[in-house]
Structure 1
Amino acid sequence: MVWLKRLGLGIAAIVALFVVAIIYVVVFIDPNDFKQELQDVASKQANVTLRLDGDISWSFFPWLGLELADVGVALGSQSELVKFGKVEFGLAIMPLLNQTVQVDRVKIIDLEANLSVDKQGNPNWSNAATESDVAVENVPSTSTDGSQSPSEPLSLPNIQLDQLLVQNAQLQYRDEQNNMLLKTALDLELNNVRWDEAWPMLLNVAVEKSDLSGQEKIQSNITLGANLSIFPEKEAFSLEGLTLKTETKAAFLPVSPLVASVTVKQVDFDLPQENILIEKAQLTSMGATVSTSINAYQILSEPVFDGSLELADMNPRTLLAKLAIALPEMSDESALTNVSASLAVSGSSKKIQISPLTLNLDQTTLNTTAQVNLDPLYWDISVKGNALDVDRYLPTKSDEVATEVPSGTPAPTSSEVAELLPIELIRQLNGRVSIELENLKVLNLKLDSITAKSTQSNGLVKLEPLNVNLYSGSAMLNANLDARQNTPRISVYPDVKNVQIQPLLNDFMELEKIAGSTFINGNLDLTGNSIESLMGSLSGDLLVEVNDGALVGMNLTKAVCEGIAVTRNESLAKSSFGENTPFERLTFPAHIVDGEISTPGLTIAAVTLKVTGDGVISLPNKSLDYRTNIAFAGSELDNACRVKDTFTKLAFPVVCKGNFSDDPAGLCGPDLAGFGKVFADLAKIELNAKLDAEKARAKVKLEAEKARAEEKLAAEKARAQEKLDAEKVRAQEKLDAEKAKAKAKLKEEEDKAKEKLKNSLKGLFD
C-alpha cells in the first residue's frame, strides 16, 4: 500500500500547488492588466468590441470571485448593443477539480440592451459573425488522422448555481419597418440552479409597447414565480407552483388596468415521449375564473389529449359591461347574470370527443355530449336540458298599433327586418344533432317537452321527427329547412293531437278567437327569414278539427237573435246572452296561399246552432273577412228571439269582419239585408204552406169521392158476376144431363152391337 500512500501525497502536493498558484494570482496579479488582451481576443475571435471602463477585481476562497464594472459590448464597429453597470460572479474552487462548475452567485446590475431593425428589415445584431467565423464554420471537422469526424452530441456542464440575480435590466427593441418601439425593464432571481432539481425563480417585468413616436402605448407589469426543474439527460422540464400576475394598461382597452392572474400546480414536459401534462391551471380576470387540467401525448407526431375545463359561477353582464361590449336588447334584464360550465374533453388531431359539457345558464341546465370529426368536419351532438326560456334573451316584443299606412309608403327592406335564422352559419353546418328539452319557452309558446333528431348538410336541415308536448296535447312534425338559396324555405308536415288551441294562439300571436281541443293534419310551406315574411308566405293545406270548443268573444246565437229582433221591431236584452259561442265540433279544410287562409266547408255543430261558412283569414294583414250561415233552433233566453218550427229550416247570415286587434264583441254581426231576404223567404214558405194545405184537403175529398165510386162499381160488378156464375152453373148442369143421355144411348147401342157380333161369331163355330 506504499504506492497508494505515495499517490495520495502526490495528489495533495498538486492540489496545494494549485491553491498556491491561485493565491499567487489573486494576490500578486492585477486583472486590469489584461483588459487590452481581453478586448483583443473578443475582437479577433468574435468581432465583438468590448468596452471595459470599470475596474476588474477578484477574490479567493472558498469562492473565486470576479467583478466587472461599466462593461459595454458592440458588434464590430456598430454602436453598443449591451451595457452592464456591474457583473459579479464567483466559482467554487474545489468542484473545478471534478470538472464541475459551481457558481455561488451571479449578479448582473443595470443591464442595458438596444436592439433595432431598420426600414429595410436589417437587424443591428446581424454582423455577429466575422469572416473568420464564417471560414471556421465552413471548414469540416476532422479527426487527428485527417478524416472528417461526425458532430458530437451537445454535452451540458454540471452547473451548480446558488443564485442568479438580474437587477434593473433595461431592454429596448426598435423596429422601423413595423413602426414599433418595445421597452422592457426586468428583475430576475434564480436560486439553487442545478440539473434535476427545482429552481425557485421570481421574475418581474415591465413592458411598454408603442409606435416610434411613443403613441398607442400598451403597458404591462408581469410577476412570475415558480419552481423550475430541468432534466438534461431525460430532455424534460417541470414547472411547479407557477403563479403569474399581469396588469395591462392601454387606451383602447375597455378596462384599464386589466388585471389577470394564472396559477398552475404542475407542468411537465417530456421531449422524447412528446408528452406535456398540465395540472390544475387557473386563470382569473374581471370576475371570471377558468380552471383546466390537460394531458397531451405525442404532441409532435400524432397528438392525443384529454382534459377538463371548468368555468366558475360568474355574471356575464358584469364582465361584458367592464369590456364595454353592449349586449343586444333582452326582454328580461336578469337574463344572462349567472353562468357556470364544466367540460370533459378528449381527442386527437382527427377527432374530438366531449363527454359531457354541462352549462348552467341562469335557471337552465344543459348537458351536451359531442363527437366531432375534423377531416372532413362532421359532428354528432346530443343536448339535454330543462327550464329554458328563450324569450328572456330576445328583444321585447313591441306593441303594434293598427294604423293606416299612407299610400306610396315603401315597404321595409330586408335589411330593416330582424332576421330569425343565421343563414351563413346554417350553410356551414354538417352533422347530426339530437335534442331533449323540458319546460321550454320560445316565441312565447310554452312547451312541456321537446325531442328532436336533426341532420344538417351544407344548408339543408331536416327534422325527422320533432315531437312536442304542449298545451295538454302533442304535436309531431317532420320539417325541412333549406337555406342553400338566398331565401330560406321551410316545409312542415304537422300531426297535432288534442292541443288546446286558445292558450296556444294567445301566447303565440295574442289571438283568442277560438278555443277547444284541436287536431291538425296536412302540410305547410314558408319562405323568408322574419316573422313577417314567414307569415306572408305561408302556404299549404290543412285539415282541422276542434272538439268541445267555443268561438271566444263572439256569440253567434246573440247575433242571430239581434237580427230576428230587428225584423220584428223589437229590442233584445243583450245581457241575457254570454260572450262566447260554445260548440261540440268544428271542422274545416284550410287552403292557405301567401298567408291568406280560406276555409271552404267550415262546419260548426252546436246545441242550438249549425253553422256553415266560408271566408278568408289574413295572417299578413291580421284580419278576417268571414260569412257564416247559421241554422237556428231559437232561444228561450229572450222572447224577442222566439221562433216557429219553420225557422229551424232557415239559415241566418252572420258576417265577421275586422282586425285581430279589434274588440272581439264587435267583429261579428247579423247581415240585416240577408235577414230581410230570409223573412221574405219565410213569407213565401208560409203562403206555399197554405196552398199546400188546400191542395191537400181537395185531394183528400177527391180521393173520398173516387173511393165511393169505386166501391159502387165494385158492388155492381159483384152482382153481375154472381148472376153470370149462376147462369154458367145451370148451363153446365143441362150440358151434363145431355151428355149423360147420349152416353147411356151410346152404351145401349154398343151393347146391342156386341150382342149381335157375339151371335154372329157363335154361328160360325156351331
Structure 2
Amino acid sequence: MRRFLTTLVILLVVLAAGMTALVVLINPNDFRSYMTQQVQQRTGYQLTLDGDLRWHVWPQLSILAGRMSLTAPGAQAPVISADNMRLDVRLWPLFSHQLSVKQVMLKGAVIRLTPGSDPVQRQQGTPEAPGDVQEPVADVPWKLNINKVRVQDSLLIWQRGPDDQINMRDINLSVDQDEKRQATLEFSSRINRNQRDLAFSLSGTADLSDSPRVYRATVTNFDYQLTGAGVPGNGVKGQGSLALELQSQNQQIDLTQLQFSANESQLTGQLRAVLGEAVPQFSADLKSPVLNLDSLNGWQPGQGKAAAQHTPSVPMPVTSQPVAEAPPDDMAYLRDFIASLHLQADKVIYHGLEVSGVALEADNQRGKARISTLNGKVSGGTFALTGDIDATGPGAAKIRITPRVEHVAVAPVMRALEAPQILEGILSLSGNFNGSGLGGSDFTRHWSGSAHVAMNEMKVHGLNIQQLIQQAVERSQKDVHGADNYDTYTRIRTLKADTVLKNGALKITQLYGDSDLLTVGGTGNADLNRQTCDMNLRVRVLQGWNGKTEVVKALQQSVIPLRVYGPWDNLNYTLRVDDILKDQLQQRAKDAINNWLNKQPEDKGKKKLEQLLNRL
C-alpha cells in the first residue's frame, strides 16, 4: 500500500511539473495573431483581444483574455463584445503545437444585431485598404480547433427600426460541435418589452455540414411563459418542437414537424418563408385539435363586458401622449407580402361557444386577399363564408363577404357575442355584404348589404304579442276575453324576412311569420349601434279568444296594427284596438240591417235605406 501511494505521489509531482514547465515554456500570446487571422479568413469578421493572454491551470487548463470584440467588415459597432473570455484547452495537443480548444466561454457579453453592427457591403471595384489584406497563415505552426462555445448572463440587442428595439437578457447559450460539424445546443433567455415578460428555453441539435449554404436544426424541446400587461393572470405558457432548414442563397426558411402549444391550444403543421425575393413569400399548413381562445385572452364564464376577469391580469400601460385614432381597419401591410394559409381545427372555443370542424383557406397577393373557404359547425348548424379584401388602394381596405348560415341556434351565439338575450330560434341566413373593418363595431358602422333570413321555433323574450292584443281588446269589449295565463315571450313557428343593411341601419323590407296562435307580417327598422328598433306589424290572433261566437270569429279574422319600438331590452308598443272594434261594430250593424232589409218588401223607403247603408 505504501509503495502504491508513493508511486501515485510521484506521478502527481511529475504531472504538476510538466504542466508548470508547459506554462513557463509556452507563451499564450503566441496564439493571438493566429486566432485573429483564422477568424478573419473563415468569417470575414475582425477579432480584437485587448490586454495580455494568461494561463489558468486549476481546475481546468485555460487561457484567460481581457476585453474582446468581434466586428463585421465596415461595421461601426462590434456584433459581440465582452469584458472577459476564457478558452478551455486540452493539454496533450499543446506538445504537438495544436491549440485544441474544448470550450470558449463568454460571460456578461453584449450581442448587437443593430444597423451599426451590420457588415457594410463592399461595392464592386472599390480598392481594398492595406489593412484588409491578411498575411497568410500557412506557415504558422499552430492549428486551431474549437469544440464548444458557452455564453452566460449576456445581453442581445436587436434593433429592427429607428424606434423598435428588443433586448434579450440573461442569455445562456451552450453549443457543442463534433468533428463532423454536428452540434448540440441549449439556449435560454428573457425578453421584457411593453410591460410584458417572455421567458423561454430550448434545446436541440444542428447540422452545419453544408453551411454556410444550408443550415439545418432540430428543436427537440421549447418551453416558454408570457406574463405581464394584457395577458391573463396565469400567463400564457406552453411547449414546442420543430425541424428547421435555412437556405442562405434565397433566405428560405422551412419549419416542419411543428408542434406548438399555448395553454390549452395546440398547433401542428409546417411553415415556409422566402425572404430573399423582392416580395417576401409565406405559406402555412396548420392543424389543431383545439384552439381555446378563452384560455388565451382570460375570458371566464359569466363574465360580462364590464365585469373584471375572474383571473386578474395586468392592465395595459397608460401613455402620457395622446394616440391618434387609426383609420378603420387599415390593412396596408397586406401589400408587403404574398402568403397562403390552410388551417384545419377540430374545435375552436370562443366565450364558451364551441365551433367544430373549422376549415380556413386564404391567400394574399400584395394587398388582394381572398378567403376561399371558411366553414364549420356551430350550435347545431353549419356556417360558410367566402370573401375578398382589397387593400391596394388608398385609405381603408375594401371588404366583401358572402355568408351562409344553416340551422344555427341563435341563443348560444348571442351569449358568446354578449348581445341582449331577446331571441331564441334556429337561424338560416344567406346574404352579401361589403364595407371596411372586421370588428363588431365596424360591422355596425361601415358595412352595407342585404340578406334573406329564416327562423324556426322562434321566441321573442319580454314581449307577448297575443297578450298585448287580447288584454287591449278586453278593456274595450266586454263580450270577449283572452287566455287566463300567458307566457313571457312570443312564439313564432316560422319567420321569414328580407333585410337591407346600410351603415348600422337595418331595414326589414318584408316580414312574415306564423304559429298556431297568431300570424304576423310587416316592415320596420333597427339601429344596430343604439340597439333600438321600430317595427310596424299586422297581427292576427287565431286562438285564445273566449266569449260571443260572432265577436270571436270577427276578431280571429281581424288584422290588428301593432307598433313595437324602443330599446331592445325595454320595448314599447302601441295598439289601434279601438279602431278595429269600431269597424267591427259598424260591420255588425251593417250586417244586421242588411239581413232586415232582405226580409222587407221592395219600396222607396227600402231603396233610400240601402243607399244610406252603402254610404256608411
Matches within 5 A, 1:435-446: 435-442=343-350, 446=354
Match of 1:549 in 2: 458
- CA-CA distance at 1:567 after TM superposition: 1.7
- CA-CA distance at 1:385 after TM superposition: 0.9
Matches within 5 A, 1:638-677: 643-660=551-568, 662-663=569-570, 667-671=571-575, 674-677=576-579
Q: Residue 469 of structure 1 aligns to which amino acid in structure 2?
A: K
- CA-CA distance at 1:616 after TM superposition: 0.6
Q: Residue 549 of structure 1 aligns to which amino acid in structure 2?
A: M
Q: Secondary structure at the match of 2:417?
A: helix
> 1 or 2, which has the higher helix percentage?
1
Unmatched segments (≥5 aa) in structure 1: 1-61, 67-86, 91-104, 112-124, 126-162, 210-229, 270-276, 318-325, 401-413, 702-766
Aligned CA distance change for structure 1 residues 570 and 202 (closer, same or farther; 3 Å): same
Matches within 5 A, 1:344-359: 344-348=243-247, 349-350=249-250, 351-359=252-260
- CA-CA distance at 1:602 after TM superposition: 0.6
- CA-CA distance at 1:108 after TM superposition: 6.9
Tell me the distance in 1 between the aligned counterparts of 2:139 and 2:484: 99
Q: Does the 8 Å contact 2:473/2:577 carry over to 1?
A: yes
Match of 1:192 in 2: 92
Q: Does the 8 Å contact 2:347/2:357 carry over to 1?
A: yes
Q: Which residue of 206, 217, 224 maps to 1:294?
A: 206
Tell me the distance in 1 between the aligned counterparts of 2:531 and 2:506: 11
TM-score relative to the length of structure 1 = 0.55
Match of 2:379 in 1: 471
Q: Does the 8 Å contact 2:173/2:185 carry over to 1?
A: yes
Match of 2:590 in 1: 688
Tell me the distance in 2 between the aligned counterparts of 1:378 and 1:541: 36
Q: Secondary structure at the match of 1:684?
A: helix
Q: Residue 245 of structure 2 aligns to which amino acid in structure 1?
A: S
- CA-CA distance at 1:279 after TM superposition: 2.2
- CA-CA distance at 1:313 after TM superposition: 3.0
Deviations 1:278-307 (A, max 9, x none): 42211134553212322245545xx23332
- CA-CA distance at 1:314 after TM superposition: 3.1
Is 1:563–2:472 an aligned residue pair?
A: yes
TM-score relative to the length of structure 2 = 0.67
Tell me the distance in 1 between the aligned counterparts of 2:433 and 2:168: 56
Tell me the distance in 2 between the aligned counterparts of 1:494 and 1:554: 30
Matches within 5 A, 1:183-222: 184=83, 190=89, 191-194=91-94, 199=100, 201=102
Match of 2:487 in 1: 578
- CA-CA distance at 1:106 after TM superposition: 3.6
Q: Which residue of 302, 315, 321 maps to 2:225?
A: 315
Q: Secondary structure at the match of 1:367?
A: strand
Question: Which has the higher Rg, Structure 1 or Structure 2?
Answer: 1
Match of 1:282 in 2: 186
Match of 1:377 in 2: 280
- CA-CA distance at 1:430 after TM superposition: 1.1
Deviations 1:215-258 (A, max 9, x none): xxxxxxxxxxxxxxx9999x9975445544335699xxx99995
Match of 1:227 in 2: none
Unmatched segments (≥5 aa) in structure 2: 1-16, 33-47, 49-59, 111-136, 158-164, 191-198, 308-321, 604-616
Match of 2:35 in 1: none
Tell me the distance in 2 between the aligned counterparts of 1:208 and 1:356: 33
Q: Which residue of 371, 386, 393 maps to 2:289?
A: 386
Deviations 1:642-689 (A, max 9, x none): 9510111211222221223x34xxx14342xx1111111111211221
Aligned CA distance change for structure 1 residues 579 and 189 (closer, same or farther; 3 Å): closer
Aligned CA distance change for structure 1 residues 455 and 697 (closer, same or farther; 3 Å): farther
Q: Does the 8 Å contact 1:565/1:641 carry over to 2?
A: no
Match of 2:521 in 1: 612
Q: Does the 8 Å contact 1:264/1:278 carry over to 2?
A: no
Match of 1:333 in 2: 233
Q: Which residue of 236, 245, 252 maps to 2:152?
A: 245
Q: Secondary structure at the match of 2:411?
A: helix
Question: Number of residue pairs matched?
Answer: 486
Tell me the distance in 2 between the aligned counterparts of 1:389 and 1:533: 25
- CA-CA distance at 1:432 after TM superposition: 1.4
Q: Does the 8 Å contact 1:192/1:199 carry over to 2?
A: no
Matches within 5 A, 1:715-734: none
Match of 2:532 in 1: 623
- CA-CA distance at 1:461 after TM superposition: 1.7
Q: Does the 8 Å contact 1:429/1:456 carry over to 2?
A: yes
Aligned CA distance change for structure 1 residues 621 and 255 (closer, same or farther; 3 Å): closer
User: Percent of aligned pairs with the same residue?
Assistant: 13
Q: Does the 8 Å contact 1:387/1:438 carry over to 2?
A: yes
Q: Does the 8 Å contact 2:108/2:153 carry over to 1?
A: no
Q: Secondary structure at the match of 1:427?
A: helix
Match of 1:754 in 2: none
Tell me the distance in 2 between the aligned counterparts of 1:450 and 1:582: 32
Q: Which residue of 574, 580, 584 maps to 1:678?
A: 580
Aligned CA distance change for structure 1 residues 479 and 605 (closer, same or farther; 3 Å): same
Q: Does the 8 Å contact 2:364/2:370 carry over to 1?
A: yes
Match of 1:137 in 2: none
Deviations 1:360-379 (A, max 9, x none): 11011111223334425323
Match of 1:525 in 2: 434
Coordinate RMSD, CA, aligned: 4.5
